Structure 1
Amino acid sequence: MVKFDMGAAWDDTLQLLKSHTALVGTIAGVFLFLPALAFAWFGPVPIEPPAGADFDQVMATFRESFRQMVPGQLVVALATMIGSVAILRLWLSRTGVSVGEALTFGLMLFPTMLVAQILSGIGIGIGFILLIIPGLYLIGRLALVAPAIADRAIYNPIEAIRTSWDLTRNNGWAVFFFLFLVNLVIVIAALIIGGIVAVIFGSEPGIGRMLGGFVEAAFGAIGSLVSVAISAAAYRQLAVGGDGDVFR
């Protein structure tokens, strides 16, 4: 059984991010960045509770704001899903793949990816209900679902989940902390830069919202791309000693 090496995985993550730069950048721009930017610029503005609102009013405002946000966020999530599978296909393919071939592959495997993510989300959600710790552990164990689907063209979502579960055996916490630490740095950077933009330009409709939305979308795309690269690097490392045939 392979022991997950964070240092080696980070080196491979950087190598992946440097490979196929133009192709990956094109897909990331169209599917990860632009949908998020469009939502940030043209989507609904979060509703603020009235001054002096009681708890029930605050919760009602939150529910209404959430209801308005859901459709747009779903579109962004679905576009990100397609783009992520296409990018993973570029990185994990043993032969040359064009952008068109990668996107076609992403569209073909989209139903599998969607069902697998829903099932994974349900499992992780139940884990969080059970005192949070099991949910965090499941994030690590299910982190390789997407790269497994992209590399092996798995059409059965249950098989994709089982593949990730097998590959991350005895490495679930290591994979989780690797994902957590890298994404924590990105979130902190996004908060700092977003806060600076808000202080200088404000957050009201106009230039403030446009710049704030741009920063939010940019860091969201960067975070998604780095997370995809991390999952691909972890997959490449663990699949070598697992039941896969990666790069044989």
Structure 2
Amino acid sequence: MVKFDMGAAWDDTLLLLKSHSALIGAIAGVFFFLPALAFAWFGPIPIEPPAGASFEQVLATFRESFRQMLPGQLVVALSTMIGSVAILRLWLSRSGVSVGEALTFGLMLFPTMIATQILSGIGVGIGIILLIIPGLYLVGRLALVAPAIADRAIYNPIEAIRTSWDLTRNNGWAVFFFLFLVSLVIVIAALIIGGVVSVVAGTEAGAGRMAGGLVEAAFGAIGSLFSIAVSAAAYRQLALRGGSDIFQ
């Protein structure tokens, strides 16, 4: 049984981010950054509850804001999903893959990714309801679904989930904490820089919103890249079972 090594996985994460950097940057720009930027600049502005609002008013404001923002957020999420599979295909392929082939692959596996995300989300959601801890554990156990799909061209969502479950056996918490620590660093950096931009440019419509949207989209793209890189690094480490499984 392979024991997950966070240090080795982090080194491999950085190695992945450096590999195919121009191609990865182009895909991330088109599928991660630009959709998020368009939504930040042209999407609906979150509704703020009035001063002294009651709990019911705050809840109603939240529901309306969520309803307005949901379509755009879905478009951004679906675009990110396609780009993620394409990037994972470039990283995990044991032979040369062109950008066109990677994107075609991402489109072909798109329905599988949607199905696995829905099933995984339901599982994690139920786990969160059950005192949170089971949900966090499931995040670690299901973290390798996307890399497994990209590497093995798995079209069956149940098989993809089962593959991640098998690969993370006895390593669920280690994988979760690896993902959590990397995400925490990115979130803290985004909050600091976003706060600085808000102070300098303001938060009103116009320059403030454009500057804030630019920072938000940039960190969203960076966060997505790191997220799929750490999952790919964890997959590369835990999927090694023999000479035929060695990644180049």
> What residue is the counterpart of 2:67 in the other structure?
67
**CA separation in 2, counterparts of 1:77 and 1:179?**
19
TM-score where L is the length of structure 2: 0.98
Q: Partner of 1:116 in structure 2?
A: 116
Q: Does 1:226 align with 2:240?
A: no
- Deviation of 1:246 (Å): 4.7
1-structure distance, mates of 2:144, 2:213: 30
Aligned residue for 1:240, secondary structure, equals: coil
Number of the residue aligned with 1:177: 177
Distance 2:54 2:123 in 1: 34
Q: Distance in 2 between matches of 1:182 and 1:247?
A: 23
Per-residue deviation, 1:153: 0.2
Residue type at the aligned position of 2:135: G
Q: What per-residue deviation string (whole Å, max 9, x for no partner) do you get for residues 63-118 of structure 1?
A: 00010011000000000000000000000001111111100000000000110011
Total equivalences in the alignment:
247
* Aligned counterpart, 1:194: 194
Unmatched 5+ stretches in structure 2: none
Structure 1 residues 190 and 212: CA distance shift in structure 2, 3 A? same
How far apart are the structure 1 equivalents of 2:246 and 2:152?
A: 9
- Summarize deviations over 1:195-219 as a string: whole Å, max 9, x none: 0010111111101100100000100
Take 1:112 and 1:246, find their aligned partners in 2: how far apart are those partners?
Answer: 25
Runs of 4+ in 1 over 2 A off after TM superposition: 244-248
Look up the match of 1:212. Answer: 212
CA distance in 1, matches of 2:113, 2:138: 17
Aligned residue number for residue 94 of structure 1: 94
Q: How far did residue 245 of structure 1 move?
A: 3.2
Mapped partners of 2:207, 2:153: distance in 1: 44
Residue in structure 2 matched with residue 150 of structure 1 by the alignment: 150
CA offsets per residue over residues 178-232 of structure 1, 9 Å max, x none? Answer: 0000110000000000000101111111011001000001001100100100000
Within 2, Cα distance between the matches of 1:31 and 1:18? Answer: 19
| 2:9 is equivalent to residue 9 of structure 1 | yes
What percentage of aligned pairs have identical amino acids?
85
Paired amino acid for 2:195: G
1:149-173 CA distance string (max 9 Å, x none): 0000000000000000000000000
Give the aligned residue type for 1:166: D
- Segments of structure 1 that go 5 or more residues without pairing to the other structure are none
SS of 1:27's partner is: helix
The whole-number CA distance in structure 2 between the counterparts of 1:200 and 1:89 is: 40
Distance 1:226 1:132 in 2: 24
* Alpha-carbon distance in 2 for matches of 1:221, 1:88: 15
Do structure 1's residue 34 and structure 2's residue 34 form an aligned pair? yes
- In 1: Cα distance, 2:30 partner to 2:125 partner: 30
Partners of 2:92 and 2:186 in 1: CA distance: 24
TM-fit CA distance, 1:247: 3.5
